[in-house]
Amino acid sequence: MLIRDETAKDVPAIRKVVGDALRLLAQSTGTEADIVDRLRADGALILSLVAQDRGEVIGYLAASPARIGGQDGWGLIGPLAVDPARHRQGIGTALMEGALSRLRARCRGAALVGDPGYYRRFGFGVFPGLTVAGCPPEVIQALPFDGAAPCGEVAHHPAFGLDQPR
């Protein structure tokens, strides 16, 4: 398996992996592939990694710039998606480890919304006062690379549509 930056020819496979994988989650909006497309179109992907095996895209991870409270310089991870037929093979772990290694060189930390049971193994934690509108606090997590606890609203890129009425 190879973890690498996306290329233009990967886009259809990325859309399929993201759609297939996230369709299985109760909290999925079904718009996750469209969010990635909007981030890409706006030049707002600071990371766009694919996991490739035998020439096939089997996993994907996106990271975009974020602000927490008044602090710029955070990397927002999401979506992270793995082909459902390839779950529990270490693909998500390899994508996350590759992403964190790259983000450490360019960001003050990483943030995401997701299952604490999964992301805790990478060092993510829940911090009092860390918020995302409409999300329960137990799924809003961060990994500050300098150890300083983040506090405030996690500001996502407009591609996520969080500023739109639901």
User: Distance between CA 152 and CA 166 in Å, rounded?
Assistant: 22
Task: Work out the average pLDDT over 27-36.
Answer: 76
User: Distance between CA 33 and CA 96 in Å, rounded?
Assistant: 18
So what's the pLDDT on residue 156?
A: 87
pLDDT digits (tens, 9 = 90+) for 106-128: 999 999 999 999 999 999 999 99
Please give the share of the chain, as a percent, with pLDDT higher than 90.
78
Contact status, residue 4 vs residue 94, Cβ threshold 8 Å: no
State which H helix or E strand residue 116 sits in: helix 116-119
CA 162, distance to chain mean position in Å, is 15
Name which of 22-31, 93-102, 143-152, 156-165 the model is least confident about: 22-31
So what's the pLDDT on residue 162?
A: 63
* CATH number of the CATH domain containing 81: 3.40.630.30
Which residues, including other chains, have CB under 8 Å from residue 43's CB and lie 6 or more apart? none
| Residue from 29, 10, 9 nearest 19 by CA | 29
Domain that holds residue 81: 2-160
- In this predicted structure, the answer to whether residue 38 has a pLDDT above a threshold of 60 is yes
So what's the pLDDT on residue 163?
A: 56
- In this predicted structure, the answer to whether residue 166 has a pLDDT above a threshold of 80 is no
Tell me if the bond preceding 79 is cis, omega within 30° of 0. yes
So what's the pLDDT on residue 84?
A: 93
Please indicate, yes or no, if residue 166 is contained in any of the structural domains: no
Please indicate, yes or no, if residue 165 is contained in any of the structural domains: no
User: Distance between CA 81 and CA 61 in Å, rounded?
Assistant: 6
* Number of domains observed in the structure of the chain: 1
CA 32, distance to chain mean position in Å, is 11
pTM to 2 decimals?
A: 0.91
DSSP readout, 34-103? HHHHHHHHTT--SEEEEEEETTEEEEEEEEEEEEETTEEEEEEEEEEEE-GGGTTSSHHHHHHHHHHHHH
